Amino acid sequence: MTAAARVLGLDRASDHLAVRWLGIDIGGTTTDVVAIASDGEVLSSAQVATRPGAGLVPGTLEAIAALDVELDALVGVGIGVPGQVDHEMGTVRLAVNLGLGAAPVRLGSAVQEALGARVVLENDVRAAALGAHRVLAPDTDVLVFVGLGTGVAAGVVIDGRPHRGAHGLAGEIGHVVVDPDGELCGCGAQGCLETVISGSAVRRRWGVEVEAAGHALAVAAAAGDTRAQGILDDVVGHLDLMVQWLAHAYGADVIVLGGGLGRLGDPLLTPLRHRLRERAGRSDVAARVVGPERVWCAPAEIPLGAVGAAAVADAPIRPIEGAAIRLARRPEGRDGLPASIKT
């Protein structure tokens, strides 16, 4: 019996309890890892601090060790990692937050050699999008996940598969210019989306150095801080526009907002849905394509990135009871407008 099974007090067939897949989500600050059973159940999870640069591979192995599970029956490992991922070579590069430059790091093959199981790499936001699809909305044809963290990027799942695009960069919306006269972005352009709605943009614009800037901003706004309210309003306004592009461009059933800002929940979702609802009331097109019920915040307690990474390695992840987004289809002949929503 595995350590996770002992912790959970489970008394089922040992086959069920064997760890078959690992899912790993390497973030700029923390690394999440989950162990998955043959039936897709999450057996165990752990979180450790990410080790950047030369520590990336040993840090990833440490994260796996933190699970404290037996890996004899392991068949696949999925790793979601920021930066440019080469799926064929199992390498990653150009991840500023991980201290990776232009030289490719052999993350996939190093972990594969250490564990003796197949390892698949995927861009972290795309892995989180797949996690959101499997856990929250497995019946949706098109799901868009937007990571609102240090930067801004979208992951798109179409017919259950991650959409990478012709250059492997589909969904890199953080550097779409939304304000040509806006602030200078790290990429060299002016007024990119991530200069307005990322966690780091909020921190810079507000001028308050706190860890969870979005949460602190929402608390200050709710307490009547008019400057915080102004910044939050502006963030919501740009999110409103972003949601419209994504819904129209991809024909999305559901758009899930994740990352530090996305997990804020109601302080973000309530005013955003209010805008969408108002527009839907005036426009039949908006009502069909981008109604308020299509936009969700990722549940903070579920490691969607790690679970999605396991799904990248073909783990049969199941929806989590109580977290699923249910979009009831209208009868045939009508548009796919949600008739009722249940959380």
Contact positions vs Zn ion (CB under 5 A): 175, 185, 187, 189, 192
Q: Residue 325 has what DSSP assignment?
A: -
- Taking the least distance from each CB to Zn ion, the nearer of 187 and 249 is 187
At residue 11, what are phi and psi to the nearest 5 degrees? Answer: -135, 70
Beta bridge partners of 44: 35
For Zn ion, the closer of residues 100 and 193 by Cβ is 193
The Cα 243–Cα 307 span in angstroms is 24
CB-based contact 255:247 (threshold 8 Å): yes
Measured from the CB of residue 148, what is the shortest distance to Zn ion in angstroms?
A: 15
* Closer by beta carbon to Zn ion, 66 or else 94: 94
Q: Are strands 341-342 and 326-327 parallel, antiparallel or unpaired?
A: antiparallel
CB of 105 to Zn ion, least distance (A): 24
CB of 177 to Zn ion, least distance (A): 8
Closest distance between Zn ion and the C-beta of residue 187, in Å?
3
Nearer of residues 138 and 182 to Zn ion, judged by Cβ:
182
d(CA 250, CA 248): 6
**What contacts 23, CB < 8 A, 6 or more positions away?**
33, 34, 36, 77, 78, 80, 127, 131, 306, 307, 308, 309, 310, 311, 312, 313, 315
Given the complex with Zn ion, which of 175 and 277 has the nearer CB atom?
175
Complex with Zn ion: residue 47 or 97, whichever CB lies closer: 97
Cβ proximity to Zn ion: between 184 and 328 the closer is 184
Quote the least distance from Cβ 238 to Zn ion, whole Å.
14
Q: How far apart are CA 327 and CA 319, in angstroms?
A: 14
- State the nearest-atom distance from the C-beta of 150 to Zn ion, in Å: 13
With CA atoms as reference, report the closest residue to 183 among 170, 195, 198: 195
C-alpha angle 144/280/141, rounded to 5°? 30
Give how far Cα 166 sits from Cα of 170, 206, 212, Å.
8, 37, 35
Please, what is the minimum distance in Å from the beta carbon of residue 125 to Zn ion? Answer: 16
Residue placing its CB nearer to Zn ion in the complex, 137 or 193:
193
Beta-strand ranges (E) seen in 230-297 are: 254-258, 295-297
Query: Minimal distance in Å, beta carbon 239 to Zn ion?
Result: 17
- Structure tokens of 168? 């492997």
Query: What span, in angstroms and rounded, lies between the C-alpha atoms of 190 and 176?
Result: 10
Q: Between vectors from CA 326 to CA 322 and to CA 332, what angle results, nearest 5°? A: 160
